[in-house]
Chains A and B, each alone.
Chain A
Amino acid sequence: AQSVSQHNHHVILSEAASLELGCNYSYGGTVNLFWYVQYPGQHLQLLLKYFSGDPLVKGIKGFEAEFIKSKFSFNLRKPSVQWSDTAEYFCAVIRRSGAGSYQLTFGKGTKLSVIP
Chain B
Amino acid sequence: SQTIHQWPATLVQPVGSPLSLECTVEGTSNPNLYWYRQAAGRGLQLLFYSVGIGQISSEVPQNLSASRPQDRQFILSSKKLLLSDSGFYLCAWRGLAGYTGELFFGEGSRLTVL
Residues in A lying within 8 Å of B, measured CB to CB: 6, 9, 32, 34, 36, 42-46, 49, 51, 90, 92, 94, 101-102, 104, 106-109
In the bound complex, residues from chain B placing their C-beta under 8 Å from that of A45 are: 105
Q: Chain A's interface: helix, strand, loop or mixed, by majority?
A: strand
In the bound complex, residues from chain B placing their C-beta under 8 Å from that of A107 are: 43
In the bound complex, residues from chain B placing their C-beta under 8 Å from that of A42 are: 107
In the complex the two chains form, what is the Cα distance from A92 to B51 in whole Å?
A: 20
Asked if B61 CB lies within 8 Å of chain A CBs, one says no
Among the listed A34, A94, A102, A106, which residue makes an inter-chain contact with B43, where contact means beta carbons less than 8 Å apart?
A106
Given contacts A45-B105, A106-B43, A109-B43, 7 further A-B contacts (CB under 8 A): A9-B41, A32-B101, A36-B105, A46-B102, A90-B43, A102-B101, A108-B41
In the bound complex, residues from chain A placing their C-beta under 8 Å from that of B51 are: 101
In the bound complex, residues from chain A placing their C-beta under 8 Å from that of B43 are: 6, 90, 106-109
In the bound complex, residues from chain B placing their C-beta under 8 Å from that of A44 are: 90, 92, 103, 105
In the bound complex, residues from chain B placing their C-beta under 8 Å from that of A108 are: 41-43
In the bound complex, residues from chain A placing their C-beta under 8 Å from that of B108 are: 43
Q: Cβ of B100 and Cβ of A49 under 8 Å apart?
A: yes
In the bound complex, residues from chain B placing their C-beta under 8 Å from that of A49 are: 100-102
Asked if B31 CB lies within 8 Å of chain A CBs, one says no
| A to B CB contacts below 8 Å, 24 in the list | A6-B43, A36-B103, A36-B105, A42-B107, A43-B106, A43-B107, A43-B108, A44-B103, A45-B105, A46-B102, A46-B103, A49-B100, A49-B101, A49-B102, A90-B43, A94-B101, A101-B51, A102-B101, A104-B101, A104-B103, A106-B36, A106-B43, A108-B42, A109-B41
